[in-house]
Amino acid sequence: MLIDGYSLTVHSYPGVKRPLYPHQAAILDAWEEYEAFLLLTKTGSGKTAAAALPFLLRTKNPDFREGAVFVYPTNALIEDQERSIHRLAEVEGIEITSLTPDAVKKKYGSEQVVLVRIDAERLEAFAKAYQFRKPNGDWDKGCALTEVLRLDRPKIALINPDILYLVYTLAYRHSAESVATLQAYQTLVFDEFHLYGGVELAHALFLIHLARALHTFKRVLLLSATPDKHTRTWIEKLLRPYVIDSSIRTERPIIGTRQVAYPINLECVNSGADVVATAGAQILKLRETLRALRAQSADSEYIPGVVILNSVVNAIELEDWLVANGFAREEIVPVRGLISPGARKVQGKTLVVGTSAIEVGIDFKCDYLIFEAGDAAGFMQRFGRVGRHQPGIAYLLESSRMVDALNSQAQIISRDDLEKQIYALYDAADARPWFVSTEMGVLTVFAQANVMRRRAAETRHADPERIAAISNWLDGVLDKYAAKMGIESKLVQVRKRYERLAKGSKYERWILDYEAIDTFRTSLPSVEVYDKDEAKRRGSQFASYTVDIYTLVRKAHQFHYNDKTHKIVVIGGWEKPHRVYFMQVFNNNDFGSLKTTANYPHMVLFRDGHKTSVSDLLVWPRPHVFIVLPREMQQHTDWRMAIFECGQHIVAFDGDALLLREIWQRERSKPGL
């Protein structure tokens, strides 16, 4: 089946060298008129350029002294977008440089704008470069953050939402200074906003509201290729944005058309009983073609083939299968979890083998795509990896039923028609935007504000009046948020919970432990591992990485704790899930209430009949919140939630516990239940 490409008109714009798509011109025209934008256009249509260009053009004015913060869901995407913004600036004749830990003492020259990429690892590297230490001798990442944000000239900070969350909950020693510095940052851009759902969506929305209440980010842009209509409702309630989509028109002169997406030949392949063998066989057929394409191209960003599988275990198995069948390890780059980020360098490689980590906006110049798809949005995101720079071929690995359904379609269809068919055939993953309006959805943002309240008090302990003023201000911020979102009654319920907690209610004690999590994603803790198999594959420098406990206990072949390195050593690699469960007695009276592991110190995690060595991480160094529900509730969960068996019950932790509590409430409220 041939999927047609599509083109958009391009327009000239005063002072801009590159031709612009209509939506790019529309944002430039409306930049000073609106304080919030929602940009909804297809993958590969230049959303980053649309968001960055208005800021970059203003840096040509020597009196311009603003900053912008661009938020990306993954560190890999941050690195990718840093290169994109560099290219964009260079086309426009704007001198640009990147601030890196290696260059902190270098004096700026004629650069008009500075980019700085920020994540936890780089913050520590910046702290070492600046020699910033805490009183206890640890590297002071908070002080480093304040320094790299300092607006010595126009600056774009590229960060993940976790860092932004920690700044606005005053988690760093110098967070208050960072917030003050950010008041000169007038623009906030959230890319790939459709990826936030449930607890993360609640946090992201309130984070934007809180930041603006602190007089940072006068202008907010949210970018999305596949928006959920209910998420869009929340965005419109909170921001009342100017919405720009592919139907937008501009009065700027048309100077031609540009190919946005090229034609793709989509072939549907029966994945059979072993998707790894099926994918491997398809790749072997293409091996010499891929190698020839690699040899012909001098483009360092070109990669002939991209493979995307649903399972990280299958992706690892496929890589080893290919090496056993004639590929050199050096030809393959893994873009997935369970590997050091340093191994994800695509330059000069023949094939990318990965998982959903690939679909989050990373731009590949490739000719061939082989992929699985678990849901409709995932299909469109993955399909969008090919055909962005030239025509290509995509092989979809699917069940025979789905293959037959897709092959029954017309032999030549448009991208819009393909998208309609995909959403009709595949389930749409529930982003769970409804969680924002639930009691737990409000509680998680109240906890976010309360952590900020408590830390502000700790830093201003000698000024009771100032502490009271900050507390009252935060209450007002919460009130305004609830009013905008239409969730005032839920805020009342949450405040009553906190009142009971203040009176010593043991049933609300879990709230304190939930507040202590203090992270944007509120997932189970991660541990650093040393993967012996990965050391054999690529060397010890790529064998250390972090992995969440849920994945570790379910998918590691064997593991143990190394007292000398303080890392978990994984032996035998990763495999299909083991049976993991808790040994703890609960009854029906425990259903639906939030609990804390502080009250269950002997709640032991077992794997295949043996106690695991990571059980203690659920109660030390800090407890975790959890919920107990009947096992039949598992049908209402999916792979995004970490669910454990516990006798005839299931258990979920932290943010998943809050989400599952609301799913439980929704199911119980249905007629006949």
- Digit-coded pLDDT (tens) for 441-489: 999 999 999 999 999 888 756 688 888 999 999 999 999 999 999 999 9
Mean pLDDT of 98-112: 91
Containing domain of residue 555, as a range? 526-668
Residues 116 and 17 in one domain: yes
Residue 5 lies in a domain: no
With cut-offs at 50, 70 and 90, classify the pLDDT of residue 496: very high
Beta-bridge partner residues of 96:
113
Name residues whose C-beta falls within 8 Å of residue 648's C-beta, 6 or more positions apart in sequence: 630, 631
Name residues whose C-beta falls within 8 Å of residue 180's C-beta, 6 or more positions apart in sequence: none
C-alpha–C-alpha distance, residues 669 and 666, integer Å: 5
Tokens standing for residue 489: 């009654």
For the cut 80, the answer to whether the pLDDT of residue 615 exceeds it is: no
In tens, the pLDDT along 310-337 reads 999 999 999 999 999 999 999 999 999 8
Residue 1 lies in a domain: no
Residues 341 and 241 in one domain: no
Residues 134 and 199 in one domain: yes
In degrees rounded to 5, what are phi and psi of residue 186? -90, -15
With cut-offs at 50, 70 and 90, classify the pLDDT of residue 44: confident
For the cut 60, the answer to whether the pLDDT of residue 673 exceeds it is: no
Residue 584 lies in a domain: yes
Residues 410 and 496 in one domain: no
In tens, the pLDDT along 356-404 reads 888 775 677 899 999 999 888 889 889 988 988 889 999 999 999 999 9
Residues 71 and 163 in one domain: yes
Give the residue among 160, 16, 158, 26 at the shortest CA–CA distance from 88. Answer: 16
Residues 196 and 313 in one domain: no
pLDDT of residue 213: 97
C-alpha–C-alpha distance, residues 658 and 661, integer Å: 5
pLDDT of residue 181: 94
Where a domain ends, among 205, 233, 258? 258
Residue 673 lies in a domain: no
pLDDT of residue 410: 80
Residues 25 and 106 in one domain: yes
CATH number of the structural domain spanning residue 142:
3.40.50.300
pLDDT of residue 198: 95
Residue 594 lies in a domain: yes
pLDDT of residue 111: 92
Residues 491 and 541 in one domain: no
Residue type, 144: A
pLDDT of residue 20: 97
C-alpha–C-alpha distance, residues 366 and 389, integer Å: 8
In tens, the pLDDT along 214-225 reads 999 999 999 998
C-alpha–C-alpha distance, residues 119 and 99, integer Å: 13
In tens, the pLDDT along 65-100 reads 999 999 999 888 898 899 999 999 999 999 999 999
Q: Tokens 């190698």 — which residue?
A: 291
pLDDT of residue 461: 63
pLDDT of residue 361: 53
Residue 352 lies in a domain: yes
For the cut 90, the answer to whether the pLDDT of residue 108 exceeds it is: no
Tokens standing for residue 349: 């490689």
In tens, the pLDDT along 175-198 reads 899 999 999 999 999 999 988 999
Q: 546 burial class (0-12, 13-18, 19+ CB within 10 angstroms)? A: middle
Residues 447 and 484 in one domain: yes
Residue 49 lies in a domain: yes
Other residues' Cβ atoms within 10 Å of the Cβ of residue 499: 11
Residues 70 and 151 in one domain: yes
Residues 505 and 626 in one domain: no
C-alpha–C-alpha distance, residues 169 and 201, integer Å: 17
For the cut 70, the answer to whether the pLDDT of residue 506 exceeds it is: yes
Beta-bridge partner residues of 233:
none
Residues 254 and 267 in one domain: no
Name residues whose C-beta falls within 8 Å of residue 534's C-beta, 6 or more positions apart in sequence: 338, 339, 340, 542, 543, 573
SS3 call for 117: strand
Residue 4 lies in a domain: no
In tens, the pLDDT along 553-579 reads 999 999 998 888 889 999 999 998 999
Name residues whose C-beta falls within 8 Å of residue 151's C-beta, 6 or more positions apart in sequence: 65, 66, 67, 181, 184, 185
Rounded to 5 degrees, what angle do the CA atoms 477, 483, 488 make?
A: 100
Where a domain ends, among 468, 498, 517? 517
Total domains in the fold of the chain: 4
Where a domain ends, among 495, 517, 539? 517
Tokens standing for residue 101: 């830990």
In tens, the pLDDT along 426-442 reads 887 788 999 999 999 99
With cut-offs at 50, 70 and 90, classify the pLDDT of residue 116: very high
pLDDT of residue 620: 73
In tens, the pLDDT along 582-597 reads 989 999 899 999 999 9
Other residues' Cβ atoms within 10 Å of the Cβ of residue 668: 10
With cut-offs at 50, 70 and 90, classify the pLDDT of residue 672: low
Give the residue among 1, 18, 95 at the shortest CA–CA distance from 411. Answer: 1
